[in-house]
Amino acid sequence: MRVLFTVLSLPLIVAFASCSSQNDKSPYIPDMDPVELGKKMEEAGQPVDEHKAIYPLVGKWKADSKWWMAPDSDATLSEGVAQRSLVLNGLFIQEEYTDNNPKHPFKGIGMIGFDTVTDLYNYTWFDSMAPSTWLSKGIMDEGGKVIRFSGSGSCPVTGAELATRSELELVDVDTNIFRMYVPGPGGKEFQNVEITYHRVK
C-alpha cells in the first residue's frame, strides 16, 4: 500500500523532518523541498527484508508457558492463546495474548518491528498485571533464527526500573519460543519466562 502524500499526512511529515537531516543527522528541521520530503516519507513507510523476516510470526498460536519467580523455584505452568497480526502497512506485528496462569491470569499486547534508522528490532509490551511499559531493542543473529533483546520496564514489586534480557527464537514457521531473563538476588541473572508458541492450523 503506497503512502499518500496529502494534507492529512502533514503532522507526520513535520515529525519526520524534526528528526531528520540531509547531512549530519542532527535533530532539526532541514531545509528540504516538500516533494523530496514526501518521497522520503513514502520510502520510510515501506517494509524491508528485516520486517519480512519476522512475518512468519503472524497467525493464531497456542502458547505453553513456564514461569519462575526465583532462581531455585519450581516452574509454574500455564497455557495461553495469541493472535499476531500485521499492522501499519506491514511495518509492525501486533500480538494480543491471553494467559490462564493459575496464580495470575492476564492479558497482554505486544508490538514488534524493525527500525531502519537504528538497524534494531524494537519490542514493546503492555499487560493487565501492571501499568508498566516494557521496551526492548535487539538484533537478529547471523543465522536469522534468534532476535536477542535488551530492555527494561518499571517493576511494581521493587518500585524500580528492572533490566531484562530476552530472546525470540524462530524455530520454524509453526513454532517459536520467547525467553526472558531478569536479575535475581544479588543481581545474578535467572530465567523468568519461557513461552513456546505452536501455530493453530
Q: 96 vs 81, 175, 185, 186, CA distance in Å?
A: 8, 17, 32, 34
Joined together, the cell numbers standing for residue 180 give 526472558
Where do we find the cell 502524500? Answer: 5
Is-contact 82 197, C-beta < 8 A? yes
The pTM score is 0.80
Q: Where are the alpha helices (DSSP H) in 6-163?
A: 10-18, 34-44, 49-52
- The domain covering 51-199 belongs, at the CATH homologous superfamily level, to Calycin beta-barrel core domain (2.40.128.20)
Domain boundaries, the chain: 7-46, 51-199
Joined together, the cell numbers standing for residue 49 give 527484508
130-140 and 189-199 beta bridge pairing: unpaired
- Provide the residue type at 188 as one letter: K
Q: What is the pLDDT along the chain (201 residues), one digit of tens a residue?
A: 433 333 334 444 444 444 544 445 666 667 778 888 788 888 888 899 999 999 999 999 999 999 998 898 999 999 999 999 999 999 999 999 999 877 788 999 999 999 998 999 999 999 998 888 999 999 999 889 999 999 999 888 888 888 999 999 999 999 999 999 999 888 899 999 999 999 999
- Tell me the β-bridge partners of 190: 182
Half-sphere exposure of 105 (CA within 13 A, CB side): 6
